[in-house]
C-alpha cells in the first residue's frame, strides 16, 4: 500500500489523473450538450468547467496543482492559434467578394466590442487590470488570452469573460436580429462571429450555412484586428 | 505528412515568439505565427493537404484546449465578488451592442457596395483546398 501512496504523491500520477479526468469530463459534457440540442448555455466547456471545478473542490486540489498537471493541453493552444490561419485562408474568396462591407462592419464591430466593454466597466469604477482583461474578450480565447497578458490583464479572468461573452452572444443572436428585422444571413453571421467568436459561429451555422461561413470569417478577422489594435495600445502604454 | 504539418505550426509559433522577442514588441507569438502561416498559405500554389487535416483536428477540439485556463476562475472568487457587477454589466452591454452595430453596419454598407452573388449555402472552400 505504501508503494501506491508514494505513486499517488508523484507529479506523474497527478498528470495522468487530471488529464484523464479532463478528457472524461469533456466527453460527458459533449454528450450532454448534444442531448440538450446544443443550447448555448449548455456549452461543453461551461459544463466541463462545472464538473472539474466540483471535482477539484471535493478533492481539495489547488488550481495551481491542476494546471501543472494538465499544462500539455494548455500548450496545444499555441499551435491551435496558429492553425486559425487555415480556415481564414480557405474563406478568402468570400472575403474578396464582400471586401468593403466586411471591412467597414468589422472595424465598427471590433471597436464597439473593445470600447463599450472597457467604457462601461470604467464608468462603474473598474481598475486597470480588470479593464485590460475585458478589452480582448470578443476575440477567440487563445488570442484574447495572449492579448490580455500583454496588456497587463489577468489571462484567467479573460478566458472566463470570453466564455460568458460567447454564451450571451449565441443566445441573443436570433431574438436580437428578429427585433431589428435583419434577416440577411451574411449580416447575422458576421455579427455573431465578431461579437461572440466560436460560440457565435456555431450558432450561426444553425441559422444558415452562409451565416456560419461569414461568422467564421468574422471570428478570424476580429481576432487579428483585436490583437493588432490592442497591441498598439500596449505599445503606447509602455 | 501529418508530422511535417504539425512541425510547421510549431515553427510558425516559434518564429512568431522570436520576432516578438527580437523587436521588443508586445505581440503574442502565437498570433504573429498565425499571420506568418496565413502569409505563407497565400503564397503557396498548392498548400500541403496534411496541414488542413492537422488544423481541422486541432480546431475541432479547440474548446477542450482552453479548459485548463478557464478553470482559473476557481482562484478568482474574491476578484469576482468585488468586480462581478462591473464585469457582468460590461459583458452584457458590450456583447449585445457589438451584435447590433456589426449587423447594422454590414447591412448599410452592403446596400452601398453590393456583394457579388455568393454560391448560396456553399461551404467556403478555397481553390487548391488544403
pLDDT-derived band at B77 (thresholds 50, 70, 90) equals confident
Cβ-based burial of A62 (10 A; exposed 0-12, middle 13-18, buried ≥19): exposed
CB proximity under 8 Å: A 181-200 to B: 182, 184, 186-188, 190-192, 194-196, 198
Could you give the percent of chain A with pLDDT greater than 90?
55
What is the Cα–Cα distance from A106 to A216, expressed in whole angstroms?
A: 12
Which cell numbers in the block locate residue A128?
A: 486597470
Minimal Cα–Cα distance from A148 to chain B, Å?
Answer: 10
Query: Closest Cα to residue B41, out of A220, A88, A215?
Result: A88
What pLDDT does residue A163 have? 87
What pLDDT does residue B21 have? 84
Positive or negative, the CA dihedral B75, B59, A187, A224 is: positive
Closest-CA residue of chain B to A173: B99
The DSSP call for residue B72 is G
Q: Tens of pLDDT along A19-73?
A: 999 999 999 999 998 898 877 677 788 899 999 999 999 999 999 999 999 999 9
What is the Cα–Cα distance from A78 to B102, expressed in whole angstroms?
A: 28
Which cell numbers in the block locate residue A117?
A: 466593454
The answer to whether A106 faces chain B, any CB pair under 8 Å, is yes
Minimal Cα–Cα distance from A49 to chain B, Å?
Answer: 6
- Tell me: pLDDT of B125 over 70: no
The answer to whether A125 faces chain B, any CB pair under 8 Å, is yes
The answer to whether B23 faces chain A, any CB pair under 8 Å, is no
- Tell me: pLDDT of B122 over 70: no
Minimal Cα–Cα distance from A11 to chain B, Å?
Answer: 17
Global confidence as pTM = 0.80
Long-range pairs for A146-151 at CB < 8 Å and ≥24 separation?
A146/A81, A146/A227, A146/B28, A146/B29, A146/B30, A146/B31, A147/A226, A147/A227, A147/A230, A147/A231, A147/B28, A147/B31, A149/B28, A150/A230, A150/A231, A150/A234, A150/B26, A150/B27, A150/B28, A151/A230, A151/A233, A151/A234, A151/A237, A151/B26
What pLDDT does residue B130 have? 33
What pLDDT does residue A187 have? 95
- Tell me: pLDDT of A227 over 80: yes
- Give chain B's count of helices (H) and strands (E): 6, 0
Q: Mean pLDDT over all residues of chain B?
A: 84
**Residue among B13, B96, B113 whose CB faces A82 most closely:** B13
Q: Tens of pLDDT along A156-196?
A: 899 889 988 988 998 899 999 999 999 999 999 999 999 99
pLDDT-derived band at B120 (thresholds 50, 70, 90) equals very low
What pLDDT does residue B62 have? 77
Minimal Cα–Cα distance from A2 to chain B, Å?
Answer: 31
Q: What mean pLDDT is predicted for residues B86-103?
A: 96
Q: What mean pLDDT is predicted for residues B71-77?
A: 86
Minimal Cα–Cα distance from A13 to chain B, Å?
Answer: 17
Cell 498598439 -> residue? A232
Residue A17 phi, psi dihedral angles, 5° rounding: -60, -50
- Tell me: pLDDT of A121 over 60: yes
What pLDDT does residue B123 have? 46
Cα angle A25, A26, A31 (rounded to 5 degrees) comes to 100
Which cell numbers in the block locate residue B21?
A: 522577442
Task: Convert A3-58 into a string of H (helix), E (strand) and C (coil).
Answer: HHHHHHCCHHHHHHHHHHHHHHHHHHHHHHHHHCCCCHHHCHHHHHHHHHHHHHHH
pLDDT-derived band at A2 (thresholds 50, 70, 90) equals low
Which cell numbers in the block locate residue A95?
A: 472575403
Cβ–Cβ below 8 Å for A104 and B58: no
- Tell me: pLDDT of A114 over 60: yes
- Tell me: pLDDT of B95 over 90: yes
Cβ–Cβ below 8 Å for A195 and B98: yes
A195 or A94, which is more confident: A195
What is the Cα–Cα distance from A70 to A29, expressed in whole angstroms?
A: 18
Residue A209 phi, psi dihedral angles, 5° rounding: -60, -40
**Residue among B34, B93, B109 whose CB faces A120 most closely:** B93
B2 close to B50: Cβ distance less than 8 angstroms: yes
The answer to whether A105 faces chain B, any CB pair under 8 Å, is yes
What pLDDT does residue B117 have? 59
A48 close to A25: Cβ distance less than 8 angstroms: yes
Q: Tens of pLDDT along B2-34?
A: 899 999 999 999 999 999 888 877 677 888 898
What pLDDT does residue A5 have? 63
Query: Closest Cα to residue A70, out of A25, A28, A6, A21?
Result: A21
Q: What mean pLDDT is predicted for residues B57-72?
A: 84
What is the Cα–Cα distance from A82 to B105, expressed in whole angstroms?
A: 29
A-chain residues near B107 (CB < 8 A)? 182, 184, 187
The answer to whether B78 faces chain A, any CB pair under 8 Å, is no
Amino acid at each position: 500500500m505504501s508503494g501506491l501512496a508514494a505513486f499517488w504523491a508523484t507529479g506523474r500520477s497527478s498528470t495522468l489523473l487530471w488529464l484523464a479526468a479532463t478528457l472524461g469530463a469533456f466527453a460527458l459534457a459533449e454528450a450532454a450538450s448534444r442531448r440538450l440540442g446544443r443550447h448555448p448555455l449548455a456549452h461543453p466547456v461551461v459544463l466541463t468547467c462545472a464538473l472539474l471545478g466540483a471535482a477539484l473542490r471535493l478533492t481539495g486540489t489547488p488550481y495551481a496543482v491542476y494546471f501543472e498537471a494538465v499544462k500539455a493541453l494548455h500548450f496545444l493552444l499555441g499551435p491551435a492559434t496558429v492553425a486559425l490561419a487555415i480556415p481564414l485562408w480557405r474563406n478568402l474568396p468570400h472575403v474578396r467578394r464582400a471586401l468593403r462591407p466586411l471591412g467597414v462592419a468589422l472595424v465598427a464591430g471590433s471597436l464597439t466590442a473593445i470600447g463599450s466593454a472597457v467604457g462601461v466597466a470604467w464608468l462603474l469604477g473598474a481598475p486597470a487590470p480588470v479593464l485590460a482583461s475585458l478589452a480582448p474578450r470578443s476575440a477567440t480565447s487563445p488570442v484574447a488570452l495572449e492579448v490580455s497578458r500583454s496588456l497587463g490583464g489577468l489571462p484567467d479572468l479573460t478566458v472566463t469573460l470570453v466564455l460568458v461573452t460567447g454564451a450571451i452572444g449565441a443566445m441573443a443572436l436570433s431574438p436580437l436580429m428578429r427585433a431589428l428585422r435583419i434577416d440577411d444571413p451574411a449580416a447575422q453571421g458576421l455579427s455573431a462571429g465578431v461579437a461572440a467568436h466560436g460560440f457565435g459561429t456555431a450558432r450561426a451555422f444553425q441559422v444558415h450555412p452562409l451565416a456560419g461561413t461569414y461568422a467564421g470569417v468574422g471570428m478570424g478577422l476580429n481576432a487579428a484586428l483585436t490583437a493588432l489594435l490592442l497591441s498598439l495600445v500596449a505599445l503606447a502604454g509602455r | 505528412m501529418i508530422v511535417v504539418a504539425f512541425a510547421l505550426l510549431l515553427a510558425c509559433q516559434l518564429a512568431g515568439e522570436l520576432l516578438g522577442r527580437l523587436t521588443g514588441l508586445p505581440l503574442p507569438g502565437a498570433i504573429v505565427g498565425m499571420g506568418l502561416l496565413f502569409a505563407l498559405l497565400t503564397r503557396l500554389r498548392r498548400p500541403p493537404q496534411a496541414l488542413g487535416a492537422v488544423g481541422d483536428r486541432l480546431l475541432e477540439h479547440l474548446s477542450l484546449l482552453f479548459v485548463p485556463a478557464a478553470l482559473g476562475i476557481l482562484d478568482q472568487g474574491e476578484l469576482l465578488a468585488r468586480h462581478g457587477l462591473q464585469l457582468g454589466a460590461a459583458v452584457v452591454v458590450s456583447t449585445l451592442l457589438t451584435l447590433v452595430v456589426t449587423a447594422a453596419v454590414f447591412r448599410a454598407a452592403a446596400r452601398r457596395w453590393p456583394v457579388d452573388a455568393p454560391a448560396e449555402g456553399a461551404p467556403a472552400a478555397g481553390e487548391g483546398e488544403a
